[in-house]
Amino acid sequence: MSSTPPSPSLPQGPATPKSAPPIHILPNNISKTYALIHPVLLLALVALRFNALITDPVAELLSNLPFLALLQVTFVMTCLPPAGSAKDDDDNNNNKSTSANPTSNSTSNAGSGVILKPGKIGLRRKNTPKSDSGNLSAKLLPAILSLTLTTLLATPVLTILLILFGAPLTTHHAETLLCAAHMAVLTSTALIYVHGVDGSIWKEVWGAKRPADAVWGAALGTCVGAWFGAVPIPLDWVNVLICYVCRDRPWQAFPITIVIGAYIGYSVGFGLGRTVLFGKRLKIEEEGDVVDSKKVD
Protein backbone atom coordinates (compact mmCIF):
# COMPACT_ATOMS: atom_id res chain seq x y z
CA MET A 1 0.00 0.00 0.00
CA SER A 2 1.51 3.29 -1.12
CA SER A 3 1.65 6.23 1.21
CA THR A 4 0.95 9.73 -0.03
CA PRO A 5 3.95 12.00 0.20
CA PRO A 6 3.60 14.89 2.64
CA SER A 7 2.67 18.16 1.04
CA PRO A 8 5.47 20.69 1.09
CA SER A 9 5.01 23.52 3.55
CA LEU A 10 4.34 26.90 2.07
CA PRO A 11 7.11 29.45 2.59
CA GLN A 12 6.23 32.08 5.12
CA GLY A 13 6.80 35.73 4.39
CA PRO A 14 8.96 37.98 6.51
CA ALA A 15 7.54 38.84 9.92
CA THR A 16 5.94 42.25 10.19
CA PRO A 17 8.15 44.54 12.30
CA LYS A 18 6.62 45.51 15.59
CA SER A 19 5.68 49.14 15.92
CA ALA A 20 7.57 51.22 18.46
CA PRO A 21 5.46 51.99 21.54
CA PRO A 22 4.18 55.50 22.28
CA ILE A 23 6.43 57.88 24.17
CA HIS A 24 5.62 58.55 27.82
CA ILE A 25 6.39 61.76 29.66
CA LEU A 26 9.19 61.11 32.15
CA PRO A 27 7.74 59.90 35.48
CA ASN A 28 8.82 62.71 37.79
CA ASN A 29 7.05 65.75 39.17
CA ILE A 30 9.16 68.30 37.28
CA SER A 31 8.51 66.63 33.91
CA LYS A 32 4.79 66.24 34.51
CA THR A 33 4.46 69.83 35.71
CA TYR A 34 6.37 71.35 32.82
CA ALA A 35 4.44 69.20 30.34
CA LEU A 36 1.33 71.08 31.50
CA ILE A 37 3.02 74.48 31.36
CA HIS A 38 4.79 74.13 28.00
CA PRO A 39 1.80 74.51 25.62
CA VAL A 40 0.55 77.43 27.74
CA LEU A 41 3.90 79.19 27.30
CA LEU A 42 3.76 78.69 23.52
CA LEU A 43 0.25 80.13 23.30
CA ALA A 44 1.25 83.02 25.57
CA LEU A 45 4.18 83.78 23.24
CA VAL A 46 1.79 84.14 20.31
CA ALA A 47 -0.85 86.05 22.26
CA LEU A 48 1.55 88.59 23.75
CA ARG A 49 3.23 89.30 20.42
CA PHE A 50 0.04 89.20 18.35
CA ASN A 51 -0.05 92.92 17.51
CA ALA A 52 3.63 92.93 16.57
CA LEU A 53 3.06 89.88 14.38
CA ILE A 54 0.35 91.74 12.46
CA THR A 55 2.44 94.89 12.09
CA ASP A 56 5.63 93.20 10.81
CA PRO A 57 5.32 89.42 10.36
CA VAL A 58 8.88 88.89 9.09
CA ALA A 59 10.63 90.73 11.92
CA GLU A 60 8.38 89.19 14.57
CA LEU A 61 8.69 85.62 13.33
CA LEU A 62 12.44 86.03 13.12
CA SER A 63 12.76 87.46 16.63
CA ASN A 64 10.43 84.82 18.14
CA LEU A 65 12.24 81.87 16.57
CA PRO A 66 15.08 81.72 19.18
CA PHE A 67 12.53 81.78 22.02
CA LEU A 68 10.57 78.98 20.37
CA ALA A 69 13.74 76.92 19.95
CA LEU A 70 14.67 77.51 23.59
CA LEU A 71 11.23 76.41 24.79
CA GLN A 72 11.33 73.27 22.65
CA VAL A 73 14.83 72.32 23.81
CA THR A 74 13.78 72.87 27.41
CA PHE A 75 10.73 70.70 26.86
CA VAL A 76 12.55 67.74 25.32
CA MET A 77 15.33 67.80 27.91
CA THR A 78 12.89 68.06 30.81
CA CYS A 79 10.03 65.81 29.77
CA LEU A 80 11.19 63.25 27.17
CA PRO A 81 13.63 60.32 27.02
CA PRO A 82 16.32 60.73 24.35
CA ALA A 83 16.57 58.27 21.48
CA GLY A 84 18.10 54.95 22.56
CA SER A 85 17.39 55.37 26.26
CA ALA A 86 14.60 52.78 26.17
CA LYS A 87 16.98 50.23 24.66
CA ASP A 88 19.55 50.96 27.34
CA ASP A 89 16.90 50.42 30.01
CA ASP A 90 16.01 47.05 28.47
CA ASP A 91 19.67 46.04 28.45
CA ASN A 92 20.00 47.05 32.11
CA ASN A 93 16.89 45.04 32.99
CA ASN A 94 18.28 42.01 31.16
CA ASN A 95 21.57 42.35 33.00
CA LYS A 96 19.73 42.57 36.31
CA SER A 97 17.67 39.47 35.57
CA THR A 98 20.81 37.59 34.53
CA SER A 99 22.63 38.54 37.71
CA ALA A 100 19.59 37.61 39.78
CA ASN A 101 19.65 34.05 38.34
CA PRO A 102 23.24 32.84 38.73
CA THR A 103 22.21 29.23 38.04
CA SER A 104 20.91 30.01 34.59
CA ASN A 105 23.94 32.17 33.95
CA SER A 106 26.37 29.39 34.82
CA THR A 107 24.32 26.91 32.80
CA SER A 108 24.43 29.09 29.71
CA ASN A 109 28.15 29.60 30.14
CA ALA A 110 28.69 25.87 30.51
CA GLY A 111 26.65 25.20 27.39
CA SER A 112 28.80 27.63 25.43
CA GLY A 113 32.00 25.85 26.42
CA VAL A 114 33.09 28.20 29.21
CA ILE A 115 33.99 26.49 32.51
CA LEU A 116 33.78 28.55 35.66
CA LYS A 117 36.29 27.73 38.35
CA PRO A 118 34.60 26.88 41.65
CA GLY A 119 35.51 28.77 44.77
CA LYS A 120 36.27 32.01 43.02
CA ILE A 121 34.27 34.97 44.18
CA GLY A 122 33.80 37.47 41.37
CA LEU A 123 33.97 41.18 41.90
CA ARG A 124 30.56 42.81 41.79
CA ARG A 125 30.41 46.14 40.06
CA LYS A 126 28.66 48.78 42.08
CA ASN A 127 25.82 50.67 40.45
CA THR A 128 26.98 54.21 40.95
CA PRO A 129 24.49 56.90 39.98
CA LYS A 130 25.41 59.18 37.11
CA SER A 131 26.54 62.69 37.94
CA ASP A 132 24.39 65.69 37.16
CA SER A 133 26.85 66.86 34.52
CA GLY A 134 26.68 63.45 32.83
CA ASN A 135 22.87 63.51 32.79
CA LEU A 136 22.90 67.06 31.43
CA SER A 137 25.31 66.23 28.62
CA ALA A 138 23.37 63.06 27.79
CA LYS A 139 20.29 65.21 27.19
CA LEU A 140 21.85 68.41 25.86
CA LEU A 141 23.76 66.81 23.00
CA PRO A 142 20.70 65.00 21.54
CA ALA A 143 18.66 68.19 21.96
CA ILE A 144 21.21 70.28 20.05
CA LEU A 145 21.49 67.61 17.38
CA SER A 146 17.71 67.48 17.05
CA LEU A 147 17.50 71.24 16.66
CA THR A 148 20.31 71.17 14.08
CA LEU A 149 18.64 68.46 11.99
CA THR A 150 15.37 70.35 12.27
CA THR A 151 16.99 73.47 10.86
CA LEU A 152 18.91 71.74 8.08
CA LEU A 153 16.36 69.12 6.98
CA ALA A 154 12.85 69.78 8.28
CA THR A 155 12.71 73.50 7.44
CA PRO A 156 13.51 73.08 3.70
CA VAL A 157 11.07 70.16 3.43
CA LEU A 158 8.25 72.13 5.04
CA THR A 159 9.06 75.15 2.88
CA ILE A 160 8.55 73.04 -0.24
CA LEU A 161 5.34 71.57 1.19
CA LEU A 162 3.97 75.04 1.96
CA ILE A 163 4.59 76.08 -1.63
CA LEU A 164 2.96 72.91 -2.93
CA PHE A 165 -0.08 73.62 -0.75
CA GLY A 166 -0.49 77.13 -2.14
CA ALA A 167 2.05 79.48 -0.57
CA PRO A 168 3.31 82.22 -2.95
CA LEU A 169 6.10 80.97 -5.19
CA THR A 170 7.49 84.23 -6.58
CA THR A 171 6.82 86.50 -3.59
CA HIS A 172 6.80 86.38 0.25
CA HIS A 173 9.93 84.20 0.35
CA ALA A 174 10.93 85.33 3.84
CA GLU A 175 7.41 84.76 5.18
CA THR A 176 7.26 81.24 3.75
CA LEU A 177 10.70 80.30 5.08
CA LEU A 178 10.03 81.64 8.58
CA CYS A 179 6.60 79.99 8.71
CA ALA A 180 8.23 76.68 7.75
CA ALA A 181 10.94 77.21 10.38
CA HIS A 182 8.37 77.72 13.14
CA MET A 183 6.43 74.64 12.03
CA ALA A 184 9.64 72.61 11.81
CA VAL A 185 10.70 73.48 15.35
CA LEU A 186 7.23 72.65 16.63
CA THR A 187 6.92 69.33 14.82
CA SER A 188 10.39 67.86 14.31
CA THR A 189 12.55 68.78 17.32
CA ALA A 190 10.83 66.42 19.74
CA LEU A 191 10.33 63.70 17.09
CA ILE A 192 14.05 63.61 16.27
CA TYR A 193 14.96 63.77 19.96
CA VAL A 194 12.93 60.69 20.96
CA HIS A 195 13.19 58.64 17.74
CA GLY A 196 16.54 59.63 16.27
CA VAL A 197 16.88 58.63 12.63
CA ASP A 198 15.17 55.24 12.87
CA GLY A 199 13.82 54.66 9.36
CA SER A 200 10.97 52.35 10.39
CA ILE A 201 9.59 54.91 12.83
CA TRP A 202 9.87 57.75 10.33
CA LYS A 203 7.92 55.66 7.82
CA GLU A 204 5.15 55.50 10.42
CA VAL A 205 5.41 59.26 10.92
CA TRP A 206 5.04 60.07 7.22
CA GLY A 207 2.33 57.45 6.85
CA ALA A 208 0.39 58.81 9.85
CA LYS A 209 0.53 55.38 11.51
CA ARG A 210 2.26 56.28 14.77
CA PRO A 211 0.44 55.49 18.03
CA ALA A 212 -0.67 58.71 19.63
CA ASP A 213 1.44 60.35 22.31
CA ALA A 214 2.37 63.90 23.26
CA VAL A 215 5.14 64.11 20.64
CA TRP A 216 3.26 62.65 17.68
CA GLY A 217 0.00 64.35 18.66
CA ALA A 218 1.71 67.73 18.80
CA ALA A 219 3.38 67.23 15.41
CA LEU A 220 0.17 66.10 13.74
CA GLY A 221 -1.81 68.86 15.45
CA THR A 222 0.64 71.48 14.17
CA CYS A 223 0.13 70.37 10.55
CA VAL A 224 -3.65 70.15 10.90
CA GLY A 225 -3.81 73.52 12.67
CA ALA A 226 -1.69 75.17 9.97
CA TRP A 227 -3.96 73.71 7.30
CA PHE A 228 -7.06 75.07 9.03
CA GLY A 229 -5.25 78.37 9.54
CA ALA A 230 -4.90 78.75 5.78
CA VAL A 231 -8.66 78.55 5.27
CA PRO A 232 -9.50 82.22 6.14
CA ILE A 233 -6.84 83.64 3.77
CA PRO A 234 -8.93 83.58 0.53
CA LEU A 235 -12.24 84.45 2.25
CA ASP A 236 -12.94 88.15 1.76
CA TRP A 237 -15.92 88.26 4.13
CA VAL A 238 -13.73 86.88 6.90
CA ASN A 239 -11.17 89.57 6.16
CA VAL A 240 -13.80 92.30 6.42
CA LEU A 241 -15.10 90.94 9.73
CA ILE A 242 -11.64 90.46 11.23
CA CYS A 243 -10.40 93.85 10.10
CA TYR A 244 -13.46 95.45 11.72
CA VAL A 245 -12.79 93.69 15.01
CA CYS A 246 -9.03 94.29 14.89
CA ARG A 247 -9.27 97.97 13.87
CA ASP A 248 -8.45 97.50 10.19
CA ARG A 249 -5.30 95.50 10.85
CA PRO A 250 -4.79 92.91 8.07
CA TRP A 251 -4.00 89.84 10.16
CA GLN A 252 -5.53 87.69 7.45
CA ALA A 253 -2.36 88.23 5.40
CA PHE A 254 -0.03 85.31 4.76
CA PRO A 255 1.36 83.64 6.90
CA ILE A 256 -0.17 85.03 10.09
CA THR A 257 -3.20 82.74 10.30
CA ILE A 258 -1.10 79.69 9.37
CA VAL A 259 1.38 80.35 12.17
CA ILE A 260 -1.38 80.96 14.72
CA GLY A 261 -3.18 77.81 13.59
CA ALA A 262 0.05 75.83 13.91
CA TYR A 263 0.57 76.95 17.52
CA ILE A 264 -3.04 76.26 18.47
CA GLY A 265 -2.95 72.89 16.72
CA TYR A 266 0.26 72.00 18.54
CA SER A 267 -1.30 72.68 21.93
CA VAL A 268 -4.51 70.78 21.14
CA GLY A 269 -2.66 67.80 19.66
CA PHE A 270 -0.22 67.78 22.56
CA GLY A 271 -3.02 67.61 25.11
CA LEU A 272 -5.08 64.99 23.28
CA GLY A 273 -2.04 62.87 22.49
CA ARG A 274 -1.04 62.43 26.11
CA THR A 275 -4.57 61.95 27.48
CA VAL A 276 -7.63 60.55 25.74
CA LEU A 277 -5.90 59.47 22.52
CA PHE A 278 -2.73 58.06 24.06
CA GLY A 279 -1.71 54.76 22.49
CA LYS A 280 -4.32 54.89 19.74
CA ARG A 281 -3.67 55.13 16.02
CA LEU A 282 -5.54 55.11 12.75
CA LYS A 283 -5.19 51.81 10.94
CA ILE A 284 -5.95 51.98 7.23
CA GLU A 285 -6.65 48.57 5.76
CA GLU A 286 -5.76 47.83 2.16
CA GLU A 287 -9.18 46.41 1.21
CA GLY A 288 -12.02 48.89 1.42
CA ASP A 289 -9.91 51.66 3.01
CA VAL A 290 -11.51 51.04 6.38
CA VAL A 291 -10.28 53.38 9.09
CA ASP A 292 -10.17 51.92 12.57
CA SER A 293 -8.88 53.21 15.88
CA LYS A 294 -6.58 50.70 17.52
CA LYS A 295 -5.02 50.81 20.97
CA VAL A 296 -1.30 50.03 21.19
CA ASP A 297 0.15 48.68 24.41
Whether residue 263 lies inside any domain: the answer is yes
Is the Cβ–Cβ distance between 275 and 289 less than 8 Å?
no
Q: Average pLDDT in the 135-147 region?
A: 89
Is the Cβ–Cβ distance between 76 and 189 less than 8 Å?
yes
The confidence score (pLDDT) of residue 142 equals 92
**What are the tens digits of pLDDT across the range 238-268?**
555 555 545 445 666 788 999 999 999 999 9
Residue 27 has pLDDT above 50, yes or no: yes
16-25, 211-220, 223-232 — most confident range: 211-220
Whether residue 1 lies inside any domain: the answer is no
Range from 39-43, 58-62, 120-124 carrying the lowest mean pLDDT: 120-124
- Three-class SS state of 291: strand
Would the CA dihedral through 212, 215, 218, 219 be positive or negative? negative
Q: Average pLDDT in the 74-88 region?
A: 83
Whether residue 39 lies inside any domain: the answer is yes
* Gap between the Cα atoms of 263 and 46, Å rounded: 8
The confidence score (pLDDT) of residue 5 equals 56
Helix (H) or strand (E) holding 33: helix 29-48
Residue 84 has pLDDT above 80, yes or no: no
Q: How confident is the model at residue 281 (pLDDT cuts 50, 70, 90)?
A: confident
Q: How confident is the model at residue 194 (pLDDT cuts 50, 70, 90)?
A: very high
CA 129 from chain center: how many Å? 28
Q: Which of 149, 163, 174 is nearest to 69 (CA)?
A: 149
Residue 23 has pLDDT above 70, yes or no: yes
Phi, psi of 291, deg, nearest 5: -100, 125
Whether residue 51 lies inside any domain: the answer is yes
CA 196 from chain center: how many Å? 10
The confidence score (pLDDT) of residue 243 equals 52
Q: Which domain holds residue 195?
A: 29-82+135-281
Percent of the chain at pLDDT above 70? 65
Q: For residue 101, how many other CB atoms are within 10 A of its CB? A: 12
The confidence score (pLDDT) of residue 250 equals 61
Whether residue 10 lies inside any domain: the answer is no
The confidence score (pLDDT) of residue 272 equals 94
The confidence score (pLDDT) of residue 181 equals 97
**What are the tens digits of pLDDT across the range 107-118?**
444 444 444 444
Residue 187 has pLDDT above 90, yes or no: yes
Q: Is 263 exposed, middle or buried (0-12, 13-18, 19+ CB in 10 A)?
A: buried
Q: How confident is the model at residue 68 (pLDDT cuts 50, 70, 90)?
A: very high
Residue 235 has pLDDT above 60, yes or no: no
Whether residue 21 lies inside any domain: the answer is no
Whether residue 164 lies inside any domain: the answer is yes
DSSP state of 136: H
Whether residue 175 lies inside any domain: the answer is yes
* Domain count along the chain: 1
